[in-house]
Structures are given as structure tokens and as C-alpha cells.
Amino acid sequence: MPELPEVETVRRGLEHVMLGQRITRVEQRRPDLRFPFPPDFAAQLEGRTVLAIGRRAKYLVIEVSGGDALIVHLGMSGRLTVERQGGTSTPCLGDYVHKTGAATKHDHVVVTLGSNDLITYNDPRRFGFMLLIARDAIDHHPLFAKLGVEPLGPDLDVAYLRRRAKGKRVDLKSFLLDQRIIAGLGNIYVCEALHRAGLSPRRQAHTLAGGTAKAIERTTVLVATIQAVLEQAVSDYRQTDGTSGGFQAAFMVYGRAGQACVRAGCTGTISRIIQSQRSTFYCSKCQV
């Protein structure tokens, strides 16, 4: 499943190609993905101009003229590819942690821009979806209304996280995966951030909230590492030019059960445990 850094990379790639462009043609090749497309989806989009390309959690929010926004979710296997005018193809914008075949029979939507660039949505498993909703209604839409703060935005800070952690008798891993607290933060990056911060995923979340200097320091380090891990993932992905592999090698704990901990001076071994039905990878020696 595409994680937040991948979706952010797709957003930046789309911005480069779509911003300010008129959508001249939309070819919709099937009635549904995970959900049916909105009625008259193609006709409604044609003729509109792209005003902004945003992201909320793992949703792309493409604002178009007329006050609406095209919401795109990549599901498990959705990818967007760009074919520039003149036939030069940029690398696939979505191929990242998980590789899937790009057979053209899974090309479900093809958008032509005024520049004659083509944007193709390919999704073999069809867990992705597209919606067209009023720009003003986004914050109240059921998909978005309960989402917490963006991990890469200014609202995730020490005071916020400490406030949300107060009284929370759940493990830190589950707390950080709760989309109502931080939106779009996934399993891989929670494992990576906790390792980098030296915090155990089994620690109680409320230990971020106490009044001690240690609790404040803990939370300060955690916020900084969440942001650093995500930023690094976005920049690593860009360096790989869309080919996957480079980034996975950079995981410090994720998928490394049984291997030696990579932290300098640590003699621990990475363990895999299950928390909230998800795999957690961590080092019990240096994550306390």
C-alpha cells in the first residue's frame, strides 16, 4: 500500500505537470474502482482548470475551477503515470514500496491536459477510488472530518502530541497509528521513527504527557524524528527517480527481524511482535 511519502511524491510530480492546466479530455474506462465513479465523472471534469494539488493524509486533493476538488486515493496498488507531450515518459509516480505490473489493461482513467500531457491511473487491484466533491465540503466529508493533524505540517508539535497523549492507556505504537491523532502516518514509518527516537513501541502513550523534563524531551525527540523520517523518505524516493528498491534498503528496523540493530554501540537484535494486528519491528535493547 502506498505510504504517505509516496503519495507526497506523487503530489509533487502531479503539481509539476497539472498546475494551471485545463483538463481537455477524461477517458473513464470502467464504471467503478473500489466505489462507483461519480455520475458523469468525465463530463464533469472536462473543461475545468487545475488550481492546486494538495494532499490530506493519503488522499490527493486536486482543486479545479468551479469550486470542486477531485479526490484520488491510490488504494493498495494504484499508480499515476505521466506521459509528456512528444512521447517522453516520466517514471511512474507511484511505484514505491510495492511493485505491481503495469499492464495497460489496468489503465482505468486517462486524463488529457491542455499541454497534451497524459496522466494515466493504473490500478490492478482496484482498491483505489476517485470522488468529485465541493472544495468547501472537504473538511466535513466523512473521509476527512475525523482526521488528525498532518505529520509534515505545522500542527504536529510537542504541545499537540502531549495534549493528545494525556491519560491514554494504549501502547505508543497504536497511539501513533491512530489516524484521529496523526493523519496518514503508516506502520512502516511509525516503526522507523520509534527506533530512531529510542522509544519502545510498547511504552504507554501517556508517558509523553507527564510534566517531567524527561517526558517533554521524549516528545520533542519523537516529533522531530517522525518528521525527519518522512522527509527523508520523500527525498530518497525522488533520488531514485521512481524506481523502487533504494528506499527499502534504508529501513533501519522495518522487515529486519532477527538482524542486528544498526544503532551505533547497540548489541541488540530486531524483534517482530504484533500490536493492534500489525507487525511491529523494534530493538528491545535501545528502545525503552
Q: How far apart are CA 82 and CA 97, in angstroms?
A: 19
| Distance, C-alpha 146 to centroid of its chain | 17
Tell me whether residue 238 is one of the annotated catalytic residues.
Answer: no
Site string for Zn ion, 235-264 (x = CB under 5 A): --------------------------x-x-
Contact 229, 197 (CB under 8 A): no
Tell me whether residue 166 is one of the annotated catalytic residues.
Answer: no
| Choice among 126, 135, 278, 285 that is catalytic | 278
Max CA pair span of the chain? 61
**How many residues sit in the footprint of Zn ion (CB under 5 A)?**
7
Q: Is 268 in the site for Zn ion (CB under 5 A)?
A: yes
For the record, the C-alpha cell of 159 comes out as: 504541545
Binding test (CB under 5 A) with Zn ion, winner from 221, 228, 266, 273:
266
Q: Is 143 in the site for Zn ion (CB under 5 A)?
A: no
Q: Considering beta carbons, is residue 205 or 261 the nearer one to Zn ion?
A: 261
The contacts of residue 163 (CB under 8 Å, 6+ apart) are 209
Tell me whether residue 3 is one of the annotated catalytic residues.
Answer: yes
Rounded least distance, CB 200 to Zn ion, Å: 11
Query: Cell 523520517 maps to which residue?
Result: 229
Q: Considering beta carbons, is residue 98 or 285 the nearer one to Zn ion?
A: 285
Rounded least distance, CB 276 to Zn ion, Å: 23
Contact 183, 151 (CB under 8 A): yes
Sole window of 6-14, 58-66, 236-244, 277-285 interacting with Zn ion (rule: CB under 5 A): 277-285
DSSP one-letter code for 37: P
Q: Is 198 in the site for Zn ion (CB under 5 A)?
A: no
In our burial notation (b when 16+ CB lie closer than 10 A, e otherwise), range 226-252 reads beebbebbbebbeeeebebeebeeebb
Query: Cell 491514554 maps to which residue?
Result: 168
Q: Is 286 in the site for Zn ion (CB under 5 A)?
A: yes
Tell me whether residue 192 is one of the annotated catalytic residues.
Answer: no
Site string for Zn ion, 67-96 (x = CB under 5 A): ------------------------------
| Choice among 55, 58, 79, 162 that is catalytic | 58
Contact 283, 269 (CB under 8 A): yes
Q: Is 22 in the site for Zn ion (CB under 5 A)?
A: no
- How many beta carbons lie within 10 A of that of residue 259, not counting itself? 12
Rounded least distance, CB 44 to Zn ion, Å: 53
Q: Is 54 helix (H, G, I), strand (E, B) or coil?
A: strand
Q: Considering beta carbons, is residue 112 or 287 the nearer one to Zn ion?
A: 287
- Applying CB under 5 A, the residues found at the interface with Zn ion are 261, 263, 266, 268, 283, 285-286
State the catalytic residues.
2-3, 58, 278
